[in-house]
Amino acid sequence: MIRHVQSTKPDAEVVTIFVQHAAKIGQVVSLGMRTPGHLALFNAYYFKGDGTPLGDGGLEAGSFGQQILGAIQPLHFGWFGGLPVKIIYGLLGLALTIVTHTGVTIWLARRRDKGRPAERWEWIWAAVSWGQPFALAVAVLASLLLTERAILPIYLICAISALLLTLKLPSGESTSRILRSASAALLCAVVAMHAYVWAAQAADMMAWGVSAALSFAALAFAPVRNAGIKGLSR
């Protein structure tokens, strides 16, 4: 099947292989193969179980709509253009996160400055903002130490616990400080645990790059006294 595709597209490389209804009547094999010069991550080529071609998905050279469909995943994740595009996507994603967070924070600060503080919303926003890195860090630790089925329940429990924390603390500032401190400590624990579990088997240097990014995030999350807007998640 691979040679059949390469007979017309000699530069095509195998990316994925899927077998549907294996060893049954109606078995279909789907080859995902990438040809240089196309934005699509790969094009799908379909075969019967005996190797008879059934056609392809047209993600590289089909209709305009099919080519758009093939380009969606690389465009969404930045899987084109090499490292410069990945850096640009990372910076744009970071900028979107900052704009989203600071927009609500500034709105809450203006209400407080005008003498109409929304204290309950300050607490909730702090829990929503900083409860996510807290819950995600715990979920990552669960993925390293427990079974896969435990990850989602643990994440949900931690995210809900962050919201319930607002009922016990006097202000959004307190909520923010506690969750940021917990997130920073947990991210450091994630880096250390990942190194302990996988360091001897890590074959991709990107693993160390991700660990370095998480360590930097932990330092950025650590609260600084008298920084930011009083009473809000900073």
Digitized pLDDT (tens) for each residue of the chain, 234 residues in all: 999 888 888 888 888 898 988 888 888 999 888 888 787 888 889 998 888 888 888 888 878 888 888 888 888 888 788 889 989 998 999 899 889 888 888 998 888 888 888 888 888 888 888 889 999 999 999 998 888 888 999 999 999 998 888 788 777 788 888 888 999 999 999 999 988 888 777 777 778 888 898 999 899 888 765 444 444 444
Q: What is the pLDDT of residue 228?
A: 42
In whole angstroms, give the CA distance from residue 85 to residue 68. 19
List the domain boundaries for the chain.
2-77, 83-221
Q: In the 8-state DSSP scheme, what is residue 114?
A: T
Helix 172-198 / helix 206-221 crossing angle, nearest 10 deg: 160
Tell me if the pTM is above 0.75.
no
In whole angstroms, give the CA distance from residue 137 to residue 131. 10
Q: What is the pLDDT of residue 137?
A: 93
In whole angstroms, give the CA distance from residue 57 to residue 44. 5
Helix or strand (DSSP H, E) at 155: helix 151-165
Nearest alpha carbon to residue 33 among 79, 63, 70, 80: 70
| Beta-ladder partners of 82 | none
Q: What is the pLDDT of residue 47?
A: 92
Q: What is the pLDDT of residue 225?
A: 57
